[in-house]
């Protein structure tokens, strides 16, 4: 059998582990595929960089990624560089030219996945991207294949390891956000610039990919409502604990009717309180977990390591095997399924619950005035707790479910009341009612 030729773009955290697995498991991979895999080039930014004991011929390194992609003897391009450009140019070129692609690039898929799918269709090539969401966890293949006979209604997940580590640490130790972030940086979970993680951009990209697959609709990162977790305080975490809850950065993708009754999709990423009995509440450390609800299958839970070189490389290798087999047999990966083409429902129509902490003056009529604002915006109050007194009272109000726009209007009006000194925090509450 002729070898299946691979070009690797990127040899950093993930790429180096892809090289190691290709080397260490060469015999098994050959047996499973029916032909050996041959690495014919590795594109990097700094070819002279020391790469430890990486089992790769130094002569394979190049800075000419485009040249590698254009080689007509390459069967599969593996992209583990990241970012939008030049990755988009490389992958579009490869796919259009009939070369299959395996990528971990969630940012690119969430921004312009449609263009990549179109290029794959044009070139009759495969586009695999299991590693782009939740690292090692087999999640996209189940959505893309196993659940294609079912109707997925909701996907709820913890898809960012860094923020889950931070929130789990705040919950366990009572630490504040900055202290927990410093710990995550020290342990190598958070990057030097953690913006993409803590502001929810990374989770929003993953949410877009999940929603596209789950609902057969093109969803981009721009369609996802996003709120980061930098405003979550130690006080919020303590308050959640008192309610039997914990705080997680959730990605929530739902299918359902919009305000006019039309079937639509809602996708959001934000911190939320969830009951400690919820299956996602026990997901600690930097782990990821995704809870999928489908009409026939019911509830499914996927759990594991969502980041790190070796776990992510495991997902990349699985895709390489699939793409290599297809090359040998002349078959194709499942093509994009976007036939449903559902409209995106705005965040204002999402049904959720709020946990609101208000610093108020403790005097007659304050509770009635506050309750009046909730009633005016058709928001039903579930519980009210007061702590402190006189000038230092705090009211903690948890609502029943209501459209997010009603809840947001309630908070906006509360902020204008003379009796409300400040709105200490507003958090959504998910799971249970
Ligand atoms: P790294 O920053 O560790 O590695 C990036 C690699 O790309 C390096 O080898 C770098 O070269 C190379 N590179 C950068 N720019 C260029 C360029 N212009 N031309 C050629 N090569 C270039 O990234 P990761 O391995 O962490 O991530 C790779 C991808 O995997 C990203 O899309 C990321 O989102 C995704 N991913 C990462 C996970 C993780 O845990 N790290 C988890 C899931 C997905 P050099 O070595 O010379 O610097
Ligand atoms: N920064 C990401 C995380 C890496 O913390 O989950 C995996 O995509």
- Beta-strand ranges (E) seen in 44-151 are 61-62, 76-79, 100-103, 127-128
Residue 286 token pair: 């930097």
Would you state the pLDDT for residue 206?
A: 98
**Superfamily per CATH, domain 4-137+309-329:** NAD(P)-binding Rossmann-like Domain (3.40.50.720)
Determine the distance separating the centroid of ligand 2 and the alpha carbon of 307, expressed in angstroms.
Answer: 5
Pick from 54-68, 117-131, 378-392: least confident: 378-392
Would you state the pLDDT for residue 325?
A: 97
* pLDDT surpasses 70 at 91: yes
Residue 66 — pLDDT band, cuts 50, 70, 90? very high
Domain ranges across the chain: 4-137+309-329, 140-305, 350-429
Mutate to test the pocket of ligand 1, among 10, 112, 140, 187 (most ligand atoms within 8 A of CB): 10
Taking CA atoms, 283 is separated from 23, 127, 132, in Å, by 33, 30, 20
318-352 pLDDT per residue, tens: 999 999 999 999 999 999 999 999 999 999 999 99
Would you state the pLDDT for residue 433?
A: 56
Give the separation between CA 212 and CA 206, rounded to whole angstroms.
Answer: 10
148-179 pLDDT per residue, tens: 999 999 999 999 999 999 999 999 999 999 99
* pLDDT surpasses 80 at 368: yes
Give the separation between CA 126 and CA 281, rounded to whole angstroms.
Answer: 37
From the CB of 132, is ligand 2 less than 6 Å away?
Answer: no
Determine the distance separating the centroid of ligand 2 and the alpha carbon of 258, expressed in angstroms.
Answer: 32
From the CB of 194, is ligand 2 less than 6 Å away?
Answer: no
Residue 244 token pair: 């039997």
206 a catalytic residue: yes
Which 8-state DSSP code applies to residue 131? Answer: G
Q: Which residue in the list 70, 206, 241, 248 is annotated as catalytic?
A: 206
Mutate to test the pocket of ligand 1, among 41, 45, 313 (most ligand atoms within 8 A of CB): 45
Could you tell me if 249 and 167 are in contact, meaning their C-beta atoms sit under 8 angstroms apart? yes
Determine the distance separating the centroid of ligand 1 and the alpha carbon of 81, expressed in angstroms.
Answer: 4
Determine the distance separating the centroid of ligand 2 and the alpha carbon of 328, expressed in angstroms.
Answer: 33
Could you tell me if 275 and 267 are in contact, meaning their C-beta atoms sit under 8 angstroms apart? no
93-123 pLDDT per residue, tens: 999 999 999 999 999 999 999 999 999 999 9
Contacts of 290 (CB under 8 A, 6+ apart): 134, 137, 139, 155, 156, 157, 158, 159, 210, 301, 302, 303
What is the mean pLDDT of the segment spanning 279-299?
A: 97
* pLDDT surpasses 80 at 391: no
119-147 pLDDT per residue, tens: 999 999 999 999 999 999 999 999 999 99
Assigned CATH for 140-305: 3.30.360.10
Q: Is the peptide bond before 3 cis (omega within 30 degrees of 0)?
A: no
What is the mean pLDDT of the segment spanning 219-238?
A: 96
Q: Residue 412 half-sphere exposure, CB side, CA atoms within 13 Å?
A: 8
241-282 pLDDT per residue, tens: 998 999 999 999 999 999 899 999 999 999 999 999 999 999
Closest ligand to Cα 189: 2
Residue 380 — pLDDT band, cuts 50, 70, 90? very high
From the CB of 162, is ligand 2 less than 6 Å away?
Answer: yes
From the CB of 10, is ligand 1 less than 6 Å away?
Answer: yes
Would you state the pLDDT for residue 189?
A: 84
Percent of the chain with pLDDT over 70: 100
Q: So what CATH class is 350-429?
A: alpha beta
**Phi, psi at 332, each rounded to 5°:** -125, 150
Q: What is the mean pLDDT of the chain?
A: 96
Determine the distance separating the centroid of ligand 2 and the alpha carbon of 166, expressed in angstroms.
Answer: 12
Would you state the pLDDT for residue 1?
A: 79
Could you tell me if 96 and 123 are in contact, meaning their C-beta atoms sit under 8 angstroms apart? yes
Closest CA to 247 of 234, 265, 263: 234
């Amino acid at each position: 059998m002729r070898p299946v030729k691979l070009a690797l773009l990127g040899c950093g955290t993930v790429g180096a582990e892809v090289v190691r697995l290709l080397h260490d498991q060469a015999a098994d991979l050959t047996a499973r595929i029916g032909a050996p895999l041959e690495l014919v080039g590795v594109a990097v930014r700094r070819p002279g960089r020391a790469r430890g004991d990486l089992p790769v011929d130094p002569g394979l390194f190049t800075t000419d990624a485009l040249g590698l992609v254009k080689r007509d003897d390459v069967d599969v391009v593996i992209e583990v560089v990241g970012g939008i450009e030049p990755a988009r140019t490389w992958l579009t070129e490869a796919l259009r030219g009939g070369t299959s692609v395996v990528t971990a690039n969630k940012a690119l898929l969430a921004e312009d996945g449609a263009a990549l799918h179109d290029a794959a269709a044009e070139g009759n090539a495969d586009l695999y991207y299991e590693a782009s969401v939740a690292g090692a966890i087999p999640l996209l293949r189940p959505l893309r294949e196993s659940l294609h006979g079912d109707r997925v209604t909701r996907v709820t997940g913890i898809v960012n390891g860094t923020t889950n580590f931070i929130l789990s640490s705040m919950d366990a130790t009572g630490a504040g956000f900055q202290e927990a972030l410093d710990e995550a940086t020290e342990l190598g979970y958070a990057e030097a610039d953690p913006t993409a993680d803590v502001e929810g951009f990374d989770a929003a990209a993953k949410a877009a990919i999940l929603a596209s697959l789950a609902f057969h609709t093109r969803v981009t990162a721009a369609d996802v409502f996003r709120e980061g977790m930098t405003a979550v305080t130690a006080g919020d975490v303590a308050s959640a604990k008192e309610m039997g809850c914990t705080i997680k950065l959730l990605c929530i993708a739902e299918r359902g009717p919009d305000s006019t009754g039309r079937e639509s999709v809602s996708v959001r990423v934000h911190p939320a309180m969830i009951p400690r009995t919820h299956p996602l509440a026990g997901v600690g450390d930097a782990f990821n977990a995704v809870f999928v609800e489908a009409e026939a299958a019911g509830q499914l839970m996927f759990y594991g390591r969502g980041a790190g070189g070796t776990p992510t490389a495991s997902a990349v290798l699985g895709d390489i095997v699939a793409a290599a087999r297809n090359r040998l047999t002349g078959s194709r990966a499942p093509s994009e399924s976007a036939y449903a083409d559902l409209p995106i429902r705005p965040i204002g129509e999402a049904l959720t619950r709020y946990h609101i902490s208000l610093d108020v003056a403790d005097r007659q009529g304050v509770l009635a005035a506050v309750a009046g604002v909730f009633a005016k915006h058709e928001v039903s109050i579930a519980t009210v707790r007061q702590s402190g007194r006189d000038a230092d009272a705090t009211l903690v109000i948890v609502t029943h479910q209501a459209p997010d726009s009603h809840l947001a209007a309630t908070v906006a009006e509360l902020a204008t009341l003379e009796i409300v000194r400040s709105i200490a925090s507003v958090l959504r509450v998910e799971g249970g009612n």
